[in-house]
């Protein structure tokens, strides 16, 4: 067997320690920790995809976690890789948060509406997507009055994150682009944002306005999540 290439410069783990995870964790060098962490990050993403993608089962908050916090603390206790584990957990948390189903509570309160006849705006546009990916939401236009308001178009500003990152207004489309709003009618318009590749995860905020109705506007919030693939 070829055992002659060990150069001695590496942390020479005794082979038996393979069976002792605690000893392994203590012996973990910086490079080993790097490999461990990178592998864990990738595999966590895939374990989640494999679950939701193939089995169609819901993933609970702990499904991606190989060990409980206690077990992990036990396994990696008193080692210098704790910060790595923490960042790893933070990342899992972010993924799980991002992938959690959007809460339906308060959906009606939050649904975005523009009351054109009363010049009243309610709610906000809440969109979430990965980069790259698409997010969709709906705005409802109401005309409670007796006048035909003709064609109404919506506009959206650039969406800006706290660190200056921008998702440009060009990525936002409305379907239909213009909606006819006759007297005593309501109409839903779909808002779609195509988040391009390379957009940093974060929260982006902007404003949706209705052409010809200068006093009407709605806040739009786009949450860009870490992509799962």
Q: How far is the CB of 57 from other proteins (least distance, A)?
A: 9
Which residue, 205, 141, 143, is CA-closest to 174?
141
Q: Of the two residues 72 and 187, which places its CB atom closer to other proteins in the complex?
A: 72
Least separation in angstroms between CB 197 and other proteins? 14
Query: Angle 62-54-92 (CA atoms, 0-180°, nearest 5)?
Result: 30
Beta pairing class for 125-130 and 213-225: parallel
Q: How far is the CB of 16 from other proteins (least distance, A)?
A: 5
CB closer to other proteins out of 36 and 204 = 36
Name residue 172's beta-bridge partners: 193
**Closest separation in Å from C-beta 21 to other proteins:** 5
Query: Is the CB of residue 61 less than 8 Å from the CB of residue 96?
Result: yes
Half-sphere exposure of 38 (CA within 13 A, CB side): 6
- Cβ-based nearer residue to other proteins, 3 or 102: 3
Which residues here bind other proteins, judged by CB under 8 A?
1-3, 5-7, 9-11, 13, 15-16, 18-19, 21, 24-25, 28-29, 31-43, 46-47, 50-51, 53-55, 63-64, 66-67, 75
């Amino acid at each position: 067997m070829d055992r002659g290439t060990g150069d001695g410069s590496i942390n020479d783990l005794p082979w038996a320690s393979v069976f002792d995870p605690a000893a392994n964790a203590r012996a973990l060098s910086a490079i080993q920790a790097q490999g461990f962490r990178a592998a864990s990050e990738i595999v966590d993403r895939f374990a989640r995809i494999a679950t939701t993608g193939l089995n169609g089962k819901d993933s609970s908050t702990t499904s991606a976690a190989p060990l409980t916090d206690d077990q992990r603390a036990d396994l990696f206790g008193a080692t210098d890789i704790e910060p790595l584990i923490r960042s790893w957990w933070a990342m899992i948390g972010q993924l799980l948060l991002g992938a959690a189903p959007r809460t339906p509570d308060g959906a009606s309160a939050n649904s975005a509406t523009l009351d054109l006849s009363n010049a009243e705006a309610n709610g906000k546009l809440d969109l979430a997507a990965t980069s790259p990916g698409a997010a969709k939401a709906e705005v409802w236009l109401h005309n409670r009055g007796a006048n035909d308001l003709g064609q109404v178009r919506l506009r959206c500003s650039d969406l800006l994150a706290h660190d200056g990152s921008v998702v440009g207004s060009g990525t936002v489309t409305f379907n239909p682009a213009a909606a006819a709003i006759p007297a005593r009618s309501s109409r839903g318009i779909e808002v779609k944002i195509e988040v391009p590749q390379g957009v940093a995860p974060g929260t982006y905020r902007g404003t949706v306005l209705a052409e010809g109705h200068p006093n009407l506007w709605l806040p739009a919030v786009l949450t860009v999540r870490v992509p799962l693939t």
